[in-house]
A and B are shown apart, each in its own frame.
Chain A
Amino acid sequence: MLIAFQLVIFVVALYMILDALNQNINLYVTPSEIKLNSVNANKVFKVGGLVKLGSVWNKKLTTFFTITDDKSEFNVQYQGVLPGLFREGKGVIIEGYFLEERFIATNVLAKHDENYRPLGSNV
């Protein structure tokens, strides 16, 4: 009886942990991988790519830019402070979700090497 009780607690706790893990897994993808799969609107993605040359502009506090991997691209919208190393043509990782063809970024990270220089200029 006691053992059964302990087992139930264990299973429930394990289920809760794994469920929390499953809900918070962010797949890291490239722009072309996104087009292949049909996009789930509520899913959080981490997308790695390059900021397209000449695509950055802003309206009030919102920044708009295009992320590309040279095969495929989409538009991104972000309201917030960009990292210091965010530059056109350089590598970037964005975190966020899709809302009607537009990617709403909640977080923007610049890719950099171990000496804090921007990455991705030669791709």
Chain B
Amino acid sequence: MIVLIGFLTLFFQILMNIRVSLLTLKKKVTISNFNYLVLIQFLLLFISYLSLSYLFLTDQFQVAYVALHSNTYLPLVYKLCAVWGGHEGSFLLWMTLLSLWFCVLWFKTKDCSDLFRVVLARIFSLLLCAFGLFIFFTSNPFLLLLNPPTNGADLNPLLQDPGMVSHPPILYMGYVGFAAVYACTIAGIISRETQWLELTRKSALIAWSFMSIGITLGSHWAYRELGWGGWWFWDPVENASFMPWLIGTALIHSLMIAKSNKHFIPWVALLSIFGFSLSILGTFLVRSGVLISVHAFATDPARGVYLLSLFVFSLLISITLLVVSLNKNKLIDEWKFDWSITSLLIANNLLFIVAMFVVLLGTLFPMIYMVLVSKNLSVGPPYFNQVLLPIFILLMMLMGLSIQFTRHRSREVIFRDLVQLILAVFMSTSFLLLWGGQLKIVAIISLAWPFWLLIIHFDYLKNNQYFKWSALIAHLGLIVTTIGIIMSTLYSDERLISMKLGEQEQIGNNTLIWQHATKINESNYNGFKAWFLIKKGDLLIARLNPEYRIYTTSQSPLPHAGIASQWWGDYHLNIGQHLNEGSWMIRWQMKPFIRFIWYGVIMMAIGGFIGLRREYAK
């Protein structure tokens, strides 16, 4: 019954969106007649989504998707999350969120021109149709099994983590948001609606902020569970989310200028199209099975072909549209680098696009090589670090310079700049001394960068004319993240130790003590929990509880890190393999300031949300 409701609502949603995509205005049909249609298509998808959740909650294993991704032993919250634990369900979530964006934008654009709203509705409903048919034909979550199993196959143990609750839906909000940005831009250019830039700006800020939070949650999850203490791996799926994020960052910067400088409009349009295409490409990379990773669910060439054609198709159509509907772009032709804010912003945009292409090249190269030569290869993380580091250093320089120029409007205050640089070096040195770390030249120099930016932003605080809270908080977030990256890269420490229960081990000034171990018996896993202490002399510094878990249904062991946070950083402890006669391999890590990386990104997202309200000078 519920299966039927879920399936039929999904089906009618497609019909409804076909109807919306054909909408034309006649004498008797006004734009408000479509309010119901837009609302109903969202409600239909939402009901479809709720019924799938209900099927999971009540363990209906006659549904193939539920049987594959759930289990009676699974805790309640993970049953609800298991809805997006596989390909079919996560696509349904994707669509529901897209439809929500459609609904919200439709009712928020009441005072826009009819033409704008019609074009907006057509783009959204065509997208919803395209994805609806995709689910319908290649990935239906409501398929039934002839011989239902008595119990399900279980959710992948790696996904049974609190991160599963928040990371996928928030990241999807971001991905889907780029579709909204795209729809607003295209509708705006076609209809010549005056308000479209503001709508695009708001959608872009929301999408970008959600994406930032989603990526951070994923990174923190990997740090706890997968990465053995790492926070970014240049995994193709991470790259798939990083590319639209880079483009989104460029976009929200160029949107600031686009209102006053109309030359920027084609540029904004191009970035919107890129952002949207990259989120489709990301979906293709994750969902087609071309990748082997925790994120890749199922391998089905038909899905890949469909998504790839959608990607190529949407990219071609929008670029053609852009070329046809706009005059020749005078931005690049007439642009001369003159140290004005506009020039610095163009340089910022170009660097973000270069960074995106660098990531794209490293991500797609192995796949292209596989298709052409049919040999497997992978691109190592040093490639990304090596190439992106100079680009990001340049970007931070630009950021400093552009803030500097809003205040001084000239280059004649070299003396002042010099004082700031010296102050920055002084600050980075005292920061290191205060923390008690060893003074490394490379650390002093790299830390001077974020501190220089900090000084410049304090200077900016005093500036009335250009002050914006959103920019300030987002930029401070970047400074915090940078400090986290520099400190955790330069000062991390790692030891492998062989330890028995009851033993202790000296690590530098610290003593690591394995006090005792207790058995764990949860509904979805069992194993043991180890109780460790870290002491400095007689002073207790931290307690750590790493776990060795064996998941019930798959019988797969999965160690769970023990993490103890201090204000300045984390201790990270992992239990590895059993060595011999009761000794286990223990991996001890010290990660200074690693939390700053995630806190900083959260600050960036807060800055993005603050930017939503109309900002005036202070």
Contacts and interface: CB of A to CB of B under 8 A. Distances in A.
Are A and B interaction partners? yes
A11 interface: no
A28 B370 CA distance: 11
B558 interface: yes
A21 B577 contact: no
Interface string A80-123: 11101110000000000000000000000000101111100000
Interface stretch (B132-140, B170-178, B374-382): B374-382
B358 interface: yes
B496 interface: yes
A25 interface: yes
Given A58-B579, A114-B156, A81 B379 contact: no
Contact of A116 (B157, B358, B497): B157
Interface string A44-84: 10100000000000101101000000000000000111101
A115 B382 CA distance: 30
Nearest to B579: A58
A85 B559 CA distance: 11
Interface string B530-564: 00000000000000000000010010111100000
B498 interface: yes
B379 A25 contact: yes
B361 A17 contact: yes
B555 to A, nearest CB: 8
Which of A25, A58, A112 has the largest number of chain B CB atoms within 10 A?
A25
Contact of A81 (B68, B158, B496): B496
A112 B386 CA distance: 31
A4 to B, nearest CB: 16
A90 B354 CA distance: 41
B307 to A, nearest CB: 18
Given A17-B361, A82-B576, A61 B585 contact: yes
Given A61-B496, A114-B156, A81 B577 contact: yes
A24 B382 contact: yes
A60 B498 contact: yes
Nearest to B494: A80
A32 B354 CA distance: 40
Contact of A24 (B297, B354, B379): B379
B380 A116 contact: no
Contacts of A16: 387
B580 A81 contact: no
B383 interface: yes
Nearest to A46: B378
A23 to B, nearest CB: 7
Given A24-B381, A61-B496, A116-B556, 15 more contacts: A20-B387, A21-B379, A25-B378, A28-B377, A61-B497, A79-B496, A80-B496, A81-B577, A82-B577, A84-B559, A115-B154, A115-B156, A115-B554, A116-B554, A117-B554
15 contacts: A17-B358, A17-B361, A20-B383, A25-B379, A27-B375, A28-B375, A61-B585, A80-B496, A80-B576, A81-B559, A81-B576, A84-B557, A115-B153, A116-B156, A116-B551
